[in-house]
């Protein structure tokens, strides 16, 4: 009797979860132009001198009362729409992050985020890294990082 309860309570849900998950994943991967990218954040190609993506308006130094305001320019023809993520790091710690979704800029070659700027106040003196990452609808991405200081 106890072994039936263990089977029904613990083992049967695991079997159903694996079967259902496999069926869903198999169905999703059957869609045209669909690929499995298990670690999308590791596939970026940007660096501090990447011609495909640029950070516009970043100063090398800010005061603690001055906000960090930037825009991003994407010149890669594969990216005409997508999501923009801007993150400020202190070492490995995330200080702040902004997300700007469904940014379509390819036709007019606009700076993104469209109609606004990423603006965050960093009020602790130190050295920081800012990373701008553009993720397209097919989950390919490019990124760039630059450093600045707050005094």
Quick: pLDDT tens for 7-57: 777 887 888 889 888 888 887 777 766 655 555 444 444 444 446 889 999
Residue range 93-135, pLDDT digits in tens: 999 999 988 888 766 667 888 878 889 999 899 999 999 998 8
Q: Do 144 and 50 touch, CB atoms closer than 8 A?
A: yes
Prior bond to 75 cis, omega within 30?
Answer: no
CATH 3.30.559.30 fits 40-150, yes or no: no
Report the Cα 89 to chain-centroid distance in Å: 14
Distance CA 35, CA 28 (A): 9
């Amino acid at each position: 009797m106890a072994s039936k309860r263990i089977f029904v309570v613990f083992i049967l849900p695991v079997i159903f979860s694996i079967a259902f998950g496999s069926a869903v994943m198999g169905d999703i991967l059957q869609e045209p132009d669909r690929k499995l990218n298990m670690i999308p954040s590791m596939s970026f190609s940007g660096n501090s001198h990447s011609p495909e993506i640029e950070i516009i308006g970043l100063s090398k130094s800010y005061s603690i009362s001055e906000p960090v305001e930037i825009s991003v320019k994407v010149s890669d023809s594969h990216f005409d729409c997508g999501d923009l993520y801007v993150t400020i790091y202190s070492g490995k710690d995330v200080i702040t992050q902004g997300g700007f979704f469904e940014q379509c800029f390819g036709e007019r070659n606009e700076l993104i985020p469209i109609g606004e700027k990423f603006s965050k106040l960093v009020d602790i003196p130190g050295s920081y890294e800012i990373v701008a990452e553009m993720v397209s609808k097919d989950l390919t991405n490019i990124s760039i990082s630059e450093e600045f200081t707050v005094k």
